[in-house]
Structure 1
Amino acid sequence: MVVVAAVYFVVAVGAAVMSGRSLDRNLQGPRLRAVWAEGLTAEARCVSLRTEEAQSPEGGPVEYTHPTLEFRTADGHTVSFEERQSRLTPALGDSVTVYYGAANPKDATTRAPSFGMRHARTVITAAGCLFALVSAVVIALVP
């Protein structure tokens, strides 16, 4: 049973690592961490709103509103981008704080840095590895 437990452990740890990476990419973790790393912020103004219709998981219609925000970078360039990752829906003319990187300010976001987004991959991978270890021990000990 120890061999089965060892094989299970290796496969489960691999699955935990792949799941953590996949979740991180889906949540746009690498892009957001790069934007937040520079610590640059600006006040952006909502210049337009675009409504998108979609279908909910239950099959009903749902609408998403994406604001187009405009801000001025520290070096004086005006940047306009559509925010698609935030639940924030400002009204036309409202001001919001945006986080951006100097190298690519169009990657700006209104999402504030959070522990969960900064460490999602690590937390998911660690939880999966812990589950794999406990499961492998149980498998190894069962007669």
Structure 2
Amino acid sequence: MEIFFVIIPSVMIAGLLFAVYTVIDRSRRVARAWSSGLTAEARCLRSYTTTSGGGDHSVSTTLHHVYEFAARDGRVVRFEEAGGPGTTLEGDIVTVHYTADRPDQATAKAPARGRLFAESGCLLVFLGVALSFCVFFMITAHWIFAESEGMFP
């Protein structure tokens, strides 16, 4: 029985660590694109929404945009970005920021380093609290099982 109190939190910890990696990686990619100084005019080819949830859960809607632009070296690059502004419609021209080595990881979001730092920081704090809870739960469960088996005097 004790094994379930180790396996389930361990799987949750693995998922939370992957989420931490994803948040940090996305923040670094966006910050690098803003810092590179390379910009281009991109056309919004498509915008669409995805929904998740429903039933007993609240519904969440995410707006996606598909952009296409010509990089400095002449390559035509197409990328998709979630969470863009609702005012950008198909056919609109926007400025994108990208790096020379990875133009496919461009962003159409305007530079806002403080906002990026705040969003990433809040997400990392939340994930850190969840990780701490999982570790605390594992330690507490182990201690309770060890005490019930008479391991502690």
What TM-score do you get using the length of structure 1 for normalisation? 0.54
Identity %: 15
Aligned to 1:20: 16
Aligned to 2:32: 37
Change in CA separation of 1:28 and 1:105 when aligned onto 2, cut-off 3 Å = farther
Q: CA deviation at 1:109?
A: 1.5
The gaps in structure 2 that reach 5 residues or longer are: 149-153
Secondary structure at the aligned position of 2:107 is classed as coil
Alpha-carbon deviations, 1:22-42, whole Å to 9, x = none?
4357x5753552453362144
Aligned to 1:108: 106
Contact kept in structure 2, 1:49 and 1:65, CA below 8 Å: no
Q: CA deviation at 1:45?
A: 2.9
Alpha-carbon deviations, 1:29-66, whole Å to 9, x = none?
53552453362144443424324476654389x89552
Q: CA deviation at 1:10?
A: 8.0
Contact kept in structure 2, 1:46 and 1:67, CA below 8 Å: no
Secondary structure at the aligned position of 1:50 is classed as strand
Change in CA separation of 1:51 and 1:135 when aligned onto 2, cut-off 3 Å = closer
Aligned to 1:68: 67
Aligned to 2:43: 47
Query: Which letter does structure 2 place at the counterpart of 1:135?
Result: F
Contact kept in structure 2, 1:100 and 1:109, CA below 8 Å: yes
Query: Which letter does structure 1 place at the counterpart of 2:84?
Result: R
Change in CA separation of 1:53 and 1:86 when aligned onto 2, cut-off 3 Å = closer
Mapped partners of 1:71, 1:118: distance in 2: 33
Change in CA separation of 1:31 and 1:102 when aligned onto 2, cut-off 3 Å = farther
Change in CA separation of 1:82 and 1:88 when aligned onto 2, cut-off 3 Å = farther
Q: CA deviation at 1:131?
A: 0.8
Aligned residues: 132
Contact kept in structure 2, 1:71 and 1:80, CA below 8 Å: yes
Secondary structure at the aligned position of 1:84 is classed as strand
Q: Which has the higher contact order (CA 8 A, sep 6+)?
A: 1
Change in CA separation of 1:128 and 1:29 when aligned onto 2, cut-off 3 Å = same
Mapped partners of 1:67, 1:49: distance in 2: 5
What TM-score do you get using the length of structure 2 for normalisation? 0.52
